[in-house]
């Protein structure tokens, strides 16, 4: 997560922004390792559309949640 006085962006939002700026036309899936359960589903949906799987996993690889946009 980037936290500046005028900018706060999660790692997932940054990854989606980088994909979009590189010309990606969609997303197949996203994985968030560690961190909070609050994920940027809207950012993933903006680029990937509805139904994109977003997996939340612990740092040891344990699946914490399987979401979809």
pLDDT at position 38, please?
77
Q: Region 58-65: what's the mean pLDDT?
A: 95
Confidence at residue 14, expressed as pLDDT on a 0 to 100 scale: 93
Give the model confidence (pLDDT) of 15-56 as tens digits. Answer: 999 999 999 999 999 999 987 767 889 999 999 999 999 999
Q: Which residues contact 26 (CB under 8 A, 6 or more apart)?
A: 47, 48, 49
Give the predicted TM-score (pTM) of the model. Answer: 0.85
Beta carbons of 37 and 56 less than 8 angstroms apart? yes
Tell me how far CA of residue 8 lies from CA of 2, 11, 14, 37, 47, in angstroms.
Answer: 5, 10, 10, 17, 19
């Amino acid at each position: 997560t980037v936290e500046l006085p005028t900018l706060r962006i999660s790692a997932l939002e940054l990854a989606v922004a980088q994909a979009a700026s590189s010309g990606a036309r969609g997303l197949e899936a996203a994985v968030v390792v560690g961190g909070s359960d609050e994920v940027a589903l809207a950012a993933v949906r903006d680029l990937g559309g509805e139904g994109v799987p977003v997996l939340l996993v612990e740092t040891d690889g344990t699946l914490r949640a399987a979401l979809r946009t």
